[in-house]
Structure 1
Amino acid sequence: MRAKTTHRTAVTVLFFTIILCLLTAGGCKNASKRAYRAYSGTVSVSLGLGREGILVEEHPFPVTVHVDGDYAKEGKTCVLTVPTNASDYYAYRKPLSEESEQTISFIVPAAKYSSQITIELLDSYERVIYSRTCTYQAYDEWQNMLLAGHMGKQTDTVSWPEQIKRNDLGTAVSVRTVTLTEDNLYTEKEGYGMLDFLSVDVAYFEELSSDVKNALLDWVKEGGTIVFEGSGGWTALQKMNINGFGSSKTFSAGSNQKLLYRSLGDGSVWFLGKTLSQTVSRLTDERKSQFILILSKGASGSYSEDFSSLSVYENSSLLYRLRTHKSSAETPKVWIYVAILILYLVVGIPGIYLLMRKKKRIRWFRPLVCLLAACFSILIFIVGTSTRYSRPFIRSLTVLSDENSRENENSETIYTSIQAPFNSSYEVSINPAYHVTSLMEEYYWGSGTQNGTVNAKRVVSFDFSKEQTLLSLENLTAFSSRCFALGNNISGIGTITGTVEENASGVFGTLVNNTEYELISAVVNTGNELALIEHWKPGETIDLETEQQNGRVHMMTKDQFSDGAYKNRCQWIGKLADYYEYYLYTKKEQLYVMAQIDYMPAIQQYTDYPVENDTIICLSVTQN
């Protein structure tokens, strides 16, 4: 009888142990899909290097470091190290506050040669929790600067497409090109340091040394753009060992395609298109987000995609329904599952057995083991829910194009990847202001409350109404991606609006900041004068007459504003804060303004809207 009872007890323990192991394995597998870091949060570094993104000799430049998340909580000191000559350097230290999001600013004296600066965050024990090295180039202020180049087998000067727009200035330029060889690219750093775009033949790239490839990668990380010409561009990216690049993903770029790689601060973005003109000049996303989007049109006409390291939108105003998993800082680590299992096997079961044996109540051993197993199963289920998807989720990339900027409009496209964690149909409701297009397969149209064409093989159905655009996704396997493009012409987004009047007594009127950022400076053309408004909070209404008296609004003539230097390039016009510079430049005798916003120094605001009478400058946001 005792042997039979012991056998039943052993079977019960083994049964619940197997269940817990399966639950643990499932939880660990789900948790391992996420990439974890010791510290969650972002660190953004912005170098104010003057015009062209290159330091002008003898001019000091600002460095701003924006930190949030664990970096802001755990970091106590920010250290900026700057070489001053071949053997010496300066180290600047500034303490961090207790705020969860903060910006640290430095003013760095200019060097007369190529150099680097290093940013480090130290905790309370002086341990380095974050380190980043930024390279900058220092040159004399040249009138004519190299803007685009080609690297390949050709020996003749390459004609670069004139439709390419300067992303850093926001206006079309007359691009001059030069052919670069391996020698002058590597030995003369000004050869690639001054480039905005560099096209590289993939076949030629394969022959480059590792030093040259590393030099190219360093240049891209500091804002340069490489366009791989010909087939094999995807393989070339892999060989550059780009951070965040998934080696398990493969693409086959046709010989007529160009693979563009451009750095966006700490993240990166790739666009794959048949021509460079298909790429966009303005990219924007939610604050703190980084993203990678790859779209490739294959021979069959279908699109494949990869959203590796894509940060998702939460509480987006553009999509009505949006479900995402929690951030990596909130999801449990694998060691939690291991600890629970060890606690159950090593402590729980032996502890109950010894306790019941000591109290001579061994008959309670099996019920207590069952109860313990049930409790631990519930615990693992609760811990594991935050690592599992329970509803459809959407990952998005928003693209703002300035093709219609002369009409004071932006063309907006949102690329979405929609997935669900189950093998069943589901629906997604989208703002009806957006024109939705499927990028992957045939789709079916509907109107009002009527369903689309009935077809057993259909995957996506559209149902349009005034309240919503309803996407019905059917016959899908779990976690299969469906990509859509949401297009819209937007106006009044990211703009300054209001009414301005000018008479002999002065300038009157009210203006509203419709952007979601605090603007360090905004410039409004009121006719004969320019109004310079400082520290303008989002949604705030400014009364020009009142704020002139308070000192927040400064009136000046165009000549005073530009110091009489109307040239077709940026002109330094003075500092409005300790570490911000503002520029004014002209094209065809129309004024343009570039300004930097205060909220996140790594993001800069540019515009190429002409300043005409009674026209408010419209601002669009792009991340460096």
Structure 2
Amino acid sequence: MKKYIIQLFVISVLLFSLLPGWGQTAAADTKNRLDIKIEAGLKGKAQYQRGFPVQLTITNNGEDFAGDLAVTIPKSYGSVGNMIIPIDIASGTTKTISFSIPSIERDFLQSQSNNQNVEMFHLYEGSWKDGKEVTIDSKLDLLPNYLPEDRLVLGVLSTNPDSLNYLKLSSHLGNSPELIQLDQEDLPKQSTGFEVLDVLVVHDYSIASLDQDVQQALMKWIEEGGRLVVGDTPNLSSKLGELANYLPVNVTETKPLTSFTTLEQLGQEPFGGAALEAAFGELQEGAEVLFSENDLPLISSLPVGEGAVTQIGYDLGSSKIIDWKGNKALWNTLFASIITAGAQDPKAQHMYEDFSQQLSDITSMFQSLANIPLSVLVLLFVLYIVVVGILLYFVLKRFDKREWSWIIIPVIAILSSVSLYMVGAKDRIGQIQTSTSAVVSLNGSGQGSGHGGVSMLSNDAGTYTMTIDSNLHPFPTGARHHFAPGSEAFYDSVPIIEVKEQQTVTSFRDVEFWTPRSLGFTLPFEEYGAFESSLVFDGASISGTITNNTRYSFDELIVLNGPSHFKIDALEAGDSKEVSIKTSKTNLFQPLNEQTIFSLYGYNGGPFLGNREEEAKRRLLEMSFWSGLLSNNNSEGQAGLFVIGFTKDHLVDVSVNSKETKESNLHLFAQALSFELPADQSISLNVALSHPDVNVITGQLHFNGVLRGEGFIDGTAGTYEFNYEVPSVLQKRGFEVKTFKLSNQSSHGNIASYQIFNRKTSAFEPIEISFGNNITKEQIDALIAENRQIRLRAVTTTNNGPIAVPAVTIEGVTKP
């Protein structure tokens, strides 16, 4: 018996030794093929839901290696991709690889099922397609040091960065900025990497000496919403290289500045002593003077795409500037100005749901995936019963061939099934389908930018590749993962992203039969054309001509003004049409609201109920509204007048499996319009100003509801200033204000008291929101400044509560 037990034990050992991995040492399993060190962010710092650069330092202590590194990037819960980084490194060497990623959803990296971190790196010898994975450190991650979300992030590029340390004393929305001093090796080669910054300040630095890739990335970052601030320095244009084309002022002379009235007003401190050398010149078309000295532009801004370049006419590192105590107040005011100059506040960009996710919901609902209506199915079933159960019986009975029913009934059943299948599959077989939708904002000068989404519909099971221009920053979206993050099944379901010769190829693996897969993308700032208009308000309507000077033909065009709208059935490229929008003097400057959308396309009754195209239009219009694209702050002179158009023209090149597709498109284009008042005629108007600029004097701002069309803000105890501006069309014509009223437009309560600036006493005075019933002409003149601005302040001693933003209503008469 003992002999048999020994024999059984030996046989068991031999059998186990045949299992994979038996007999290998633990060290062999855990030895990393490459040693990888990671620096994520600019100087290790990043902003939540923003892109950032990544630098890998790779050391190869083994044999020569060539392969792919797959980096799992969870941009959001519904948008995850594996970015492929090719690696080719010789034995015994160290190599540095830099790239940028769009953003990372921090909470996604923690698996909810097993409470373990998601493994973000997978290394393959050869191509990832071969699946020969080798061992690397499983604890590697891309998480940078995330900065507080309410903090302005300033980058500084200077040959003497310490000279700009006074910027640390400034604040924006009540918070001190995060100052990052950058070196040449820190600068990313993709615009996504610059998203860490809200503002980049350049002082006496040669941008022209940087790699061309870095210069292009910096220019694109500005076009996509970045803010660049440049101080004067000798040979400024040559130092900026191609960025010199974005300077607001073409400097023609430099002369000593001896009067400092504007600087002292901004800095709230005297600027005594010797003269300050300052540069002056001619404004570029589209540039705006923010602050002037002796009627000469001292600080100017030029909108560039969704961003802006601000030019300061003096040396930021001058000892006279460094020693001046007014820097803090000046830069506080400057930040409040440039953050809204030419673009929306970047801190507001992520208040709203991700455009890509919403667009994928639209594009993935192919018409061919629509279910046959229940009423049609019932009708077909009844018809089948009538034919098979009744009509066939009487026909066969008449010919005395009832035994044929054993053959005819199965044949009818087969033919019916095949027919139903062919009806349902006619648009799903053959050429692969793609559906694309985008929202494009035009600036009126011929340029624009936007967001888009594209989906493809598989016609068979397997792997599908979608190829699109890398400049569009494509990324998988619309994912519905059925596996726990961190599991092998989850990793295998994540799309693969490769960049090949300026094209991004996304591989969707294990795609099911007749299933959509989606990509989100951004449309860069480029030429699209514009709508030209010649419109006049006559007291009852806005009438005139609109010309389509874009490259696209529109199936439907809608002119919006507050609660009013006017539809144009179609407008081909190059054509013009007459429009007439009935409006009132009260509604003329009212902002667009949800009721306008509801009047056009009805209420949101759920996903794609009724007409799918009309539902998609409503969704695109809602996205434009809630993103702030159609707010009065984005309209010309705050006129509240917009034109939107829907086109089915081709916009973006997309191929699937390297082949052309059967494409369908639906895009929304939006542009602000302006109108004139009739010549030689006075018109009485009622103007409501409800969307002021918000500045923090003291305290900290947690939420700015004005950016979302809501009438309140939320912050700590402190003082908050609201600046209202009379529409420029009235400033240009001249507007005599007869009555002045304040009203509470918030339904969230209020914890503040208010003050209004009296320009005659140069002081803020207490005021009630209900103020304005018996106001005199002299009081009105004192409250409305010569630049047609009204300044209110809200003061609160309570932390974390709603602070109402009053609406200012002025009634008056235009000058003839």
TM-score under structure 1 length normalisation = 0.31
Larger Rg: 2
Q: Return the structure number with greater relative CO, CA threshold 8 A, min gap 6.
A: 1
TM-score under structure 2 length normalisation = 0.25
